[in-house]
């Protein structure tokens, strides 16, 4: 939705508020003896109220804006529901056909920032995913916007309840990292895993 349209729709709320405020403030002028302290605002719009005509005139925009806003909300909910179902259907279709969604650069940069307390963190792109290295050793990788680490003894001790998942079909199981928001835990995990990891064979692998 264009920004200008959103701004115009936002004005409906302001117009609605001003219209209702005008009705509340000025309708009592047409209601002799109206007492703000002892009577409800709804008395101004009662069927037999002398202020009914003035109330209807002043609150006309309020009623119209209310209908428009409710309609827009209903349409928005319908569109979101339809979009959500479409995304779910696409994900199911991809899962059945074995299609994997590539990891995003945004998630890669987030993980790299979370690992910034460690020296010598690098990565290598691989078919839309990213292999992570710590001091030259493969620690894990980012697959389908998931941080997976190798299933070492140290990793299992630090994450005894971790879920095992495969990075891609046919690959060995790895541990799913749920604690990606804790930089301290990630640093502790990578340090503990380092000694248990083998050094990769030397090759020109595009590491960054």
Mean pLDDT over residues 65-93, rounded? 77
Domain end residue (candidates: 42, 70, 97): 97
Cβ atoms of residues 29 and 61 within 8 Å: no
Judgement on whether residues 60 and 92 belong to the same structural domain of the protein: yes
State residue 168's pLDDT score: 87
Least confident of 86-100, 112-126, 169-183: 86-100
pLDDT digits (tens, 9 = 90+) for 190-200: 999 999 998 87
Q: Exposed, middle or buried by CB within 10 Å (0-12, 13-18, 19+), for 34?
A: middle
Expressed as residue numbers, the domain containing 55 is: 3-97
Q: Please give the mean pLDDT across all residues of the chain.
A: 85
Cβ atoms of residues 133 and 206 within 8 Å: no
Judgement on whether residues 132 and 57 belong to the same structural domain of the protein: no
Q: What pTM did the predictor assign?
A: 0.50
Asked whether the predicted pLDDT for residue 144 surpasses 80, the reply is yes
> Tell me, what CATH number does 170's domain have?
3.30.1460
For residue 56, which of 27, 81, 25, 33 has the smallest C-alpha distance?
27
Rounded Cα distance, 164 and 155, in Å: 12
Cβ atoms of residues 165 and 176 within 8 Å: yes
Mean pLDDT over residues 157-172, rounded? 91
State residue 207's pLDDT score: 61
Mean pLDDT over residues 171-175, rounded? 93
Least confident of 10-14, 117-121, 149-153: 10-14
Strand arrangement of the beta sheet that strand 146-149 belongs to: 121-126, 129-134, 137-143, 146-149, 174-176, 164-165
Judgement on whether residues 92 and 116 belong to the same structural domain of the protein: no
Rounded Cα distance, 193 and 190, in Å: 5
* Residues 6 or more apart in contact with residue 24 via CB below 8 angstroms: 41, 44
How many folded domains does the chain comprise? 2
Residue 203 falls within a domain, yes or no? no
Asked whether the predicted pLDDT for residue 83 surpasses 90, the reply is no
State residue 130's pLDDT score: 94
Residues in the chain: 208
Asked whether the predicted pLDDT for residue 187 surpasses 90, the reply is yes
CA 93 distance to own-chain centroid: 23
State residue 101's pLDDT score: 60
Rg (CA), the chain: 30
Judgement on whether residues 84 and 109 belong to the same structural domain of the protein: no
């Amino acid at each position: 939705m264009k920004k200008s349209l959103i701004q115009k729709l936002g004005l409906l709320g302001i117009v609605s508020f001003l219209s209702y405020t005008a009705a509340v403030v000025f309708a009592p002028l047409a209601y002799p003896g109206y007492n703000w302290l002892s009577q409800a605002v709804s008395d101004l719009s009662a069927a037999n109220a002398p202020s009914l005509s003035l109330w209807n005139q002043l609150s006309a925009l309020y009623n119209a804006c209310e209908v428009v806003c409710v309609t827009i909300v209903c349409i928005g909910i319908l569109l979101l529901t339809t979009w959500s179902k479409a995304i779910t259907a696409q994900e199911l279709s991809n899962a059945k056909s074995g299609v994997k969604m590539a990891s995003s650069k945004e998630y890669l940069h987030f993980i790299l920032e979370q690992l910034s307390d460690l020296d010598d963190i690098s990565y290598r792109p691989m078919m839309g995913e990213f292999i992570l290295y710590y001091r030259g050793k493969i620690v894990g990788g980012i697959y389908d916007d998931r941080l997976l680490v190798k299933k070492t003894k140290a990793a299992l001790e630090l994450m005894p309840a971790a879920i095992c998942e495969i990075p891609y079909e046919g690959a060995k199981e790895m541990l799913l990292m749920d604690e990606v928001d804790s930089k301290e835990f990630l640093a502790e995990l990578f340090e503990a895993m380092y000694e248990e990891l083998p050094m990769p064979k030397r090759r020109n692998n595009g590491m960054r």
